[in-house]
Every structure is written in structure tokens, then in C-alpha cells.
Amino acid sequence: MVEVLTRFEMILPEAALLCDASGMVTVHLTRHLYTFFPQLEGKELAVEASTVGEVVQALERTAPGLGFYICDERGRLRTHVNIFVDKQMIHDRRGLSDAVGAGSEVHILQALSGG
């Protein structure tokens, strides 16, 4: 069997592997993203992941293109996007290596800016 990797799996290769020990993580998206991915509206997003990078990978597989709204072409979190795991902002905006656990809640939000 030939496995096709998405561009995010190539950028974040560790995210392409899902750990058997990881559990389901509930993901909440900023309202704005439903404009571009209406098929996700009203659905509970639960993914299997052990890091934030794996969460982004799972979202990309669920809704192709979603990962690019969250991360730039280098796999880093975009400047105006914040991710919270269990109400704590993530620390690793470059590698998205922050851990998530079974039952964690991940919130992906747009940062407000301007004056």
C-alpha cells in the first residue's frame, strides 16, 4: 500500500504517527473557520492525538485545507492564531509539540489585533 502524505505530514512528520496510547481530544474552532469549512459546523470534533501537531494533522485529514488556516507553510502556528489546551495557551508555536491527553479540550482561536 502506498501512503500519501499531506504537506503538513511532511512538515510535521511526528504528527503523521498516531500513538495507540493517546485518547480522544475534543477540538473547538473559532467561529470564523466555519465560514470556510461549513461541513464542520454543528459537528463535535473529536480526534485521536497526543500532541497539538497531531491535532492539526487530524483536522487536516478531516477537512483538507484547514491546517493551512492554522499553520503557515513551515508548519508553524500562524501569527494571529492561538491554541489553548485545557485553558492553557500552548508554548511551542513552532513545532506544536505541546502534549494533549485523553479528554483534553483544544480551542483554536483567532488572536485579536489592531487598534
pLDDT tens-digit readout, 86-114: 999 999 999 999 999 999 999 999 877 66
Is 2 among the domain residues? Answer: no
Range of the domain at 105: 7-110
The residue count of the chain comes to 115
How many domains does the chain fold into? 1
Is 25 among the domain residues? Answer: yes
pLDDT digits (tens, 9 = 90+) for 16-55: 333 344 469 999 999 989 999 999 999 999 999 999 999 9
- Beta-strand relationship, 23-29 and 105-110: parallel
What local confidence, expressed as pLDDT, does residue 110 receive? 87
- Which CATH number covers residue 35? 3.10.20.30
Q: How many CA atoms lie within 13 A of 25 on its CB side?
A: 31
Global pTM value:
0.78
Residue type, 40: L
Is 1 among the domain residues? Answer: no
Collapsing DSSP to helix, strand or coil, 85 comes out as strand
Is 84 among the domain residues? Answer: yes
Rounded to a whole number of angstroms, the CA Rg of the chain reads 13
What local confidence, expressed as pLDDT, does residue 2 receive? 37
Is 115 among the domain residues? Answer: no
Is 89 among the domain residues? Answer: yes
